Amino acid sequence: MSSGPAWESMQLLAEPTRRALYIACRSARMPLTREELAATVGISRRLAAFHLDALAEAGLLTVDYARPEGRGGPGAGRPAKRYTAMPVDVGISVPARRYDLAARVMARGLATADESAATAATFAAATDEGERIGRENRSKGRMSAARTTNTLVGVLEELGYEPKCDARGCVELRNCPFDAVVAEATDVVCGLNLRFISGVLDGLDGHPSVRASLEPSDHRCCVTVRHD
C-alpha cells in the first residue's frame, strides 16, 4: 500500500470542497480568513474551518492570526485565523517516479558542458515543443492582443504555470513547472522556459505584439509576457 506525504496530500485534495479551498488559498497568494474563503467557495464558515484545518494539519496551508486592518486596541476582538497556501507541488505515482532527479542531472550536465551545441539543441527543442502545443490550441481567424493573451493563459494553466494577468495584459507566471531544477542550471532552465513559451506564442499565431521576455524575480517564474 502506498503511503507518505504525497499520498496523504492527494487523498485530502481528492475531496472537491477541500480542493476548492486549497486552490482559492493558492490563487490568492496572501493570507485569507475562514470567512473570506467560505465566501469564495460558497460554503458555510463552519464547513470551511473543518476542511481548512485538515489542510493545515497536512502541511498544505500555514496558519497565522491577525486583526482586520484598522482595528486594534481594547474592544477590537480576537485576531482572525488566516490561511496561506504553502509553495509546494503535489504529485504522486505508483511506484514512485523521480523525473525531477533525471532533470536535475541533465540540467547540470548541460550547464557544465564545454560545447554550447547541447544547450543550443535543447533551446531549439524547447521552441519546437512550444510551437507544437501552440498549434494544437490555435484559433481560426485573426487574434487580437487580448485574445492571444487569454488563449496563452489557458494553455499555461494546463501546463502548471499558474499565470496571473493584470489589467494591462501583462502575464506573470507565479509558478514554474521547472522549479525543481532551476538551482542546478539557472541560465539553461530559464532560457529553455523563455524559448518554450515564445514557441507557444508562435504556434498560436496570435497578435505579434504579445511577447515573452526574461524578467527574473525571487517570487515568481523568470518569464513574463507583455504586449506592446
Q: Which domains does the chain have, with CATH numbers?
A: 5-85 (1.10.10.10), 99-227 (3.30.1380)
> Distances in Å between the alpha carbon of 203 and those of 68, 128, 138?
47, 9, 7
Q: Tally the residues of the chain.
A: 228
Give residue-wise pLDDT tens across range 98-146: 556 656 667 766 776 655 777 888 888 889 989 999 999 998 888 999 9
- What grid cell was written down for 146? 487580448
CB 36 within 8 A of CB 27: no
Can you tell me the distance from the alpha carbon of 96 to that of 108, in angstroms, rounded to the nearest whole number? 22
Can you tell me the distance from the alpha carbon of 71 to that of 73, in angstroms, rounded to the nearest whole number? 7
Amino acid of residue 19? R
Query: How many C-beta atoms surround the C-beta of residue 159 within 10 A?
Result: 16
Which alpha helices (DSSP H) does 58-171 contain, by range? 99-112, 117-136, 145-158
Which pLDDT value is given to residue 152? 94
Angle between helices 145-158 and 186-204 (to 10 degrees): 130
Q: Which of 189, 195, 42 is nearest to 107 (CA)?
A: 189
Q: Which of 66, 92, 93 is nearest to 78 (CA)?
A: 66
pTM, to two decimals = 0.64
- What grid cell was written down for 192? 529553455
Which pLDDT value is given to residue 149? 92
Which pLDDT value is given to residue 86? 82
Which pLDDT value is given to residue 44? 92
Query: How many C-beta atoms surround the C-beta of residue 161 within 10 A?
Result: 23
Residues in contact with 146: Cβ distance below 8 Å, sequence separation at least 6, in sequence order: 169
Which pLDDT value is given to residue 79? 85
CA atoms lying within 13 Å on the CB side of residue 126: 18
Which pLDDT value is given to residue 58? 85
Which pLDDT value is given to residue 42? 92
**Phi and psi dihedrals of 89, rounded to 5?**
-105, 135
Q: Percent helix, strand, coil in the chain (nearest 5)?
A: 50, 15, 35
Which pLDDT value is given to residue 3? 46
Q: What is the pLDDT along the chain (228 residues), one digit of tens a residue?
A: 344 555 677 777 888 888 889 888 888 878 899 999 999 999 999 999 999 998 998 888 999 998 766 555 555 567 889 999 886 666 655 455 555 665 666 776 677 665 577 788 888 888 998 999 999 999 888 899 999 999 999 999 888 888 888 878 899 888 777 777 777 778 888 888 899 999 999 999 999 999 999 988 777 788 999 987
